[in-house]
Structure 1
Amino acid sequence: MPVSAEAAFRYLSDPRNRPEWQSSLLSVAVPADEEPHLGQTWSETTAVGVRPHLETTVFEPFRAWAETGHWRGVSATLALQFTDVAGGCRVRATGEVSGQGAWAVPAGAAGLLASKAIAADLRKAGRILASREG
């Protein structure tokens, strides 16, 4: 991203910003005045009607952030690592989607599609941040 790891971390770790950069989201329910922190919880409404409940599980300012989410029989994790580089920062995303019972196959399909969607969403976040810096 064309911004510092600090700027990227501050933006990406705040659930209130997610509908702006995450293409699958319609809304996020988190108190407007609540600052991001370890253990923060929120819920989301996605474009396909999924309403997961999420929690911040790693919160190391400007270095690492992670979440876990649950919806019915599906669980997902997303972890972001931030590294300053010349001209900005690198954000490395890793994640996993799993399902139990009848949810195993749909979760597997979602996991296969997730990496491209996450990469596109992070590129969009980078463009948003770059436009604010400029």
Structure 2
Amino acid sequence: MTDSLVVAADPEVVFDYLVDPRNRAQWQSSLARVEDVVGEVGVGQRWVDVTSPGLRPVMETTEYDRPYRWTERGTWRGFTAELTLVFEPVGQDCRLRWTMGLAGRGVARPIAAVLNRLAPLAVRSDLRRAGAILSRPHRA
């Protein structure tokens, strides 16, 4: 599923904020904190998302083309999720497009199929929250 929204901020600012795992707990609703960040922001950077329900997926940046495109992959038990963000200038603002998908192996497969329908709604909500943070007058 592909979705988009416009953020009232420069694409480079939006990119730098969203791809840095240290900022994630500010805008990702299910995230309690980020731990074990290894590496600089870019391809190969790894970290652990500690979610509010107690899950601990291992995350990794797999694509980093500043300020245009970024992809992360998360794995936890039988699940793998991938999120790609595309940043496009629209005047002084940024159109943020994204695709995400969730796959499951074994017994996780039918659960992943259901989550694939629900997760895009959560991603949209979280990215709207990030957009609101970045659109604040003091951030411009």
Give the TM-score range, shorter chain: over 0.9
Equivalence map 1:1-134=2 (5 Å): 1-31=7-37, 35-131=40-136, 132-134=138-140
TM-score by length of 1: 0.93
Give the aligned residue type for 1:10. Answer: D
**Could you report, residue by residue, the CA deviation over 1:59-98 in whole angstroms, capped at 9, with x for unpaired residues?**
0011000011100000000000000002410010101101
TM-score by length of 2: 0.90
Give the aligned residue type for 1:71. Answer: W
What count of residue pairs does the alignment treat as equivalent? Answer: 133
Flag the 1:30–1:4 CA change in 2: closer, same or farther, 3 A.
Answer: farther
**Could you report, residue by residue, the CA deviation over 1:43-70 in whole angstroms, capped at 9, with x for unpaired residues?**
1111122110011000001100001110
RMSD over aligned Cα atoms? 1.4
- Residues 37 and 46 in structure 2, CA contact (< 8 A), matched pair in contact too: no
Q: 1 CA distance for matches of 2:87 and 2:22?
A: 19
Structure in which a larger fraction of residues adopt strand: 2
Secondary structure in 2 matching 1:101: coil
Give the aligned residue type for 2:94. Answer: C
Give the aligned residue type for 2:71. Answer: A
Q: 2 CA distance for matches of 1:51 and 1:31?
A: 13
- Residues 14 and 35 in structure 1, CA contact (< 8 A), matched pair in contact too: no
Q: 1 CA distance for matches of 2:91 and 2:124?
A: 20
Give every structure 1 segment of 4 or more consecutive aligned residues whose post-TM-superposition deviation is greater than 4 Å. none
